Homo-oligomer: A and B are copies of this chain.
Amino acid sequence: MITRTVPDIVVGRLPRYLQALEHMYREGIKTTSSQELGEAIGISAAQIRKDLSQFGEFGKQGTGYSVAFLVEQLQSILKLTRIWDLALVGMGDLGNALARYQGFAEHGFRITAAFDNDPEKIGKEVAGLIIQDSREMKRIIPSLGIKIAMLTVPASVAQMVAEELVDAGIRAILNYAPISLNLPDDIHVENIDPIIKLQHMTYYLD
C-alpha cells in the first residue's frame, strides 16, 4: 500500500471541519453527515468524504459520522493531541491582543514566551507572561522546545526577526507583518493580513 502524500489544500480544510465539528459537539449533536457538515461550512458533501478518505474510513453507511469520534480523529491527524508551545514576538497592540486571547489555550496552543526589543516593554507582564528581550530568543526558544512562533513586529524588521527565529530553531511562523518572508523551504509560514483580505473583497464590490 502506497501512502500518497496528502495535498496541502486538503490539509488546509481539515481545521475547518474540526472547527465545525467541535461546535456541533458543544451543541450536544452526537452524529452528523457529510451533507450536514458541508452545509454548515459551505463545502460539498462529496468533497468532505473525499478529503476524509485520504486518512481512513471514519463514517458508517446509513448513519454518518460520530461527532466525538471524528473530532478525535481529526485532532490526531493534525497532531493536536498534545500541547504546542508558542513564542510571540513583538508586543505592540496586536501582540498584546493575542497574548490575552483565550482561544489559543482552549485549542492546546500555549503562549510560553513573549519577546520585544523595546527596553520600556521588556520585563513588563502581559496576561501572565513576562516580556523578554528578543536578543535572548536564541537561548530561550530552544530551551523551552518551542517550534512555532507568531510574528507581530513591524514589517520593516519582520524578515530579520524571522531569520533570528529560524536560527533559534523555530520551524513554523504565523506571520502578521504585511510582507512576504523569504525563508528556507522547510520552514512553514502562514500569513494573516487583513489588508490583503479586504483588497480581495473590494474586487467584487462597486
Q: Which residues of A contact B (CB under 8 A)?
A: 11-12, 14-16, 18-20, 23, 40-42, 77-80, 84, 86, 93-94, 96-98, 100-101, 103-104, 107, 109, 147-148, 150, 171-172, 174, 178-180, 182, 188, 190, 192-206
Contacts and interface: CB of A to CB of B under 8 A. Distances in A.
Identical subunits present: 2
Contacts of A11: 200, 203-204
A121 B97 CA distance: 17
Contacts of A201: 148, 172, 174, 188, 190
24 contacts: A14-B203, A15-B196, A15-B199, A16-B180, A16-B196, A19-B178, A23-B179, A77-B203, A78-B200, A78-B202, A79-B206, A80-B199, A80-B202, A84-B202, A97-B97, A103-B194, A104-B195, A148-B198, A150-B194, A172-B205, A174-B194, A174-B198, A192-B192, A192-B197
A103 to B, nearest CB: 6
Contacts of A203: 11, 14, 77-79
A45 to B, nearest CB: 15
Given A23-B179, A93-B100, A180-B40, A200 B190 contact: yes
A199 B93 contact: no
